[in-house]
Amino acid sequence: MQSELDSLKQRVVELLAENTEIKAENAKVKAENAKLRQAMEENEARFVKLEQSDKEKAELIAELNCDERTLLKLDKKRFHVATHMGKDIEKVRPKVPLEKSQGSVPKKLPDVKISTPPTSQTLKANQTNALEVQEKYLDSVESEVINSKPEKGPITFEVRPDPELIIKSILKHFPYLKFRNSFRGIDNYNFASPQPWSSPCPICNRKHGNYGLHGEWYGTEYCLTCFTSSNKFKFAIVV
């Protein structure tokens, strides 16, 4: 009888130990589920941001088209003003009294130069030249920034550069990236060519395939981050 009681007590102890292990495993599963749920929520939030960025990009394109139409209207207005100025000059041309010389042939009137109004082709050429000058200026500034990069460490600026310049610098240093869009201060970059899932991420060295990278200013530092890690690659700083 005593031996049976001892055997039952031993069995109860074993069951309690097994129950403790099961509870520990259950706690681990709950923790993993919480992490997965948080990752899903973050992914959904990023998808919403991407949709909003696409919408903002479409609005920006519409605004640029509107600005282009406004510029064309301004060019037409300038041409109209120049044409009227030519007519006004013709109206105020001085009248010189005729002086008789030999016979009844009048002397030649003095010539009055009238400026020719610019044509639409001339205005378009001027706009093209202005855009080329602006692009050459941006390229020269970018070249100075790239050449000033130290052997180790981030690029330094005295003031925060324009978004266009920092994006062009990123693409210059990372030719395997391409710019996608910007939304609320976050620049989104994709890989220029499809990446296999086995390729390591340049930011966190993990393997997560074609998920792109994100660039953002953190105070005075412009950093690149990836989709699945909190690591930050410091690319540029304002000193």
For residue range 54-84, what is the model confidence (pLDDT) as tens digits?
888 888 888 777 767 777 776 666 666 555 5
b/e map 122-154, b = 16+ CB within 10 Å:
ebeeeeeeeeeeeeeeeeeebeebeeebeeeeb
Q: Can you read off the two tokens belonging to residue 56?
A: 């903002």
Does 133 lie in the same domain as 81? Answer: no
Q: Where are the beta strands (DSSP E) in 110-160?
A: 155-157
- Indicate the number of domains in the chain: 2
Does 76 lie in the same domain as 7? Answer: yes
Nearest to 87 by CA among 122, 120, 119, 116: 116
**Interval 166-180 mean pLDDT:** 91
Domain of 63 in residue numbering reads as 1-94
Examine the pLDDT at 30 and tell me if it is beyond 80.
yes
At residue 191, the 3 state secondary structure works out as strand
pTM of the model: 0.37
What is the pLDDT, as a whole number, of residue 86?
53
Domain membership flag for residue 31: yes
Instruction: Note the Cα 12 to chain centre separation in Å.
Output: 66
CA atoms within 13 A on the CB side of 202: 18
Domain membership flag for residue 225: yes
At residue 187, the 3 state secondary structure works out as strand
Domain membership flag for residue 105: no
Band of pLDDT at residue 123, cut at 50, 70 and 90: low
Domain membership flag for residue 108: no
Domain membership flag for residue 239: yes
Question: Which residue type, as a one-letter code, is found at position 206?
Answer: R
